[in-house]
Chain A
Amino acid sequence: ETGVTQTPRHLVMGMTNKKSLKCEQHLGHNAMYWYKQSAKKPLELMFVYSLEERVENNSVPSRFSPECPNSSHLFLHLHTLQPEDSALYLCASSPAGADTQYFGPGTRLTVL
């Protein structure tokens, strides 16, 4: 256990659905991240929050909407996704920038 939990672990949704991914970290870290991991590709950074403020937004389509209500929780709201959005979505946290990141187990998302 890394101290970062994600729910759900698996999610199947249609293109018209709205769903949310949840991440919680129990490490007292200040920064939280969302990554997308597709087969045979490097991890793609989606969003970064530091002390609940968004500090990075890597040209992610608006059908992905992050929310960070406090420094321990991070959400990724999904709506009208496309089949190519199917991937493993990983949450991570770190004490600060340029510091060790600890990852959650990921949510395996399948968009039909």
Chain B
Amino acid sequence: GESVGLHLPTLSVQEGDNSIINCAYSNSASDYFIWYKQESGKGPQFIIDIRSNMDKRQGQRVTVLLNKTVKHLSLQIAATQPGDSAVYFCAETHSGTYKYIFGTGTRLKVLA
């Protein structure tokens, strides 16, 4: 969601476990949501998206859940691997605009 955080939250998970990363979005009019992964020294990489007419969408090892009632978005990563270590952040937007609101992000650390 929209926040200006001074501290990047960190989630540490054991390799092979499932990871859940959460995001609270800010605009109730938002109808399109994206999760990005950003590794050190690289640009954000698209992971998965969801539109507001759905509450769940699955990809390869990833699932996005959308709860419009509480304006909450989550990213679930199954069988987390060392290559999943990165900063993950959500983005929200709505039809008719070119503006996207990005979250501050969560750092995922995968422990061997």
A98 touching B95 by the CB < 8 A rule?
yes
Residue of B nearest to A39 (CB): B8
Chain B residues whose C-beta falls within 8 Å of the C-beta of A55 in the assembled complex = 98
B100 touching A105 by the CB < 8 A rule?
no
Residue of B nearest to A96 (CB): B98
B104 touching A97 by the CB < 8 A rule?
no
B98 touching A40 by the CB < 8 A rule?
no
A40 touching B5 by the CB < 8 A rule?
yes
Chain B residues whose C-beta falls within 8 Å of the C-beta of A100 in the assembled complex = 34, 46, 49
Residues of A near any B CB (own CB < 8 A): 2, 4, 6, 31, 33, 40-43, 45, 48, 50, 55-56, 90, 97-106
Lowest 4 CB-CB distances: which A-B pairs, in order? A103-B43, A43-B102, A97-B98, A42-B102
List 30 A–B pairs whose Cβ atoms lie within 8 Å, in order of A's numbering. A2-B43, A2-B45, A2-B46, A6-B43, A33-B98, A40-B6, A40-B7, A40-B8, A41-B5, A42-B3, A42-B89, A42-B101, A42-B102, A42-B104, A43-B89, A43-B100, A43-B102, A48-B99, A56-B98, A97-B93, A97-B97, A98-B93, A98-B96, A98-B97, A99-B32, A101-B91, A103-B43, A103-B44, A103-B45, A106-B42
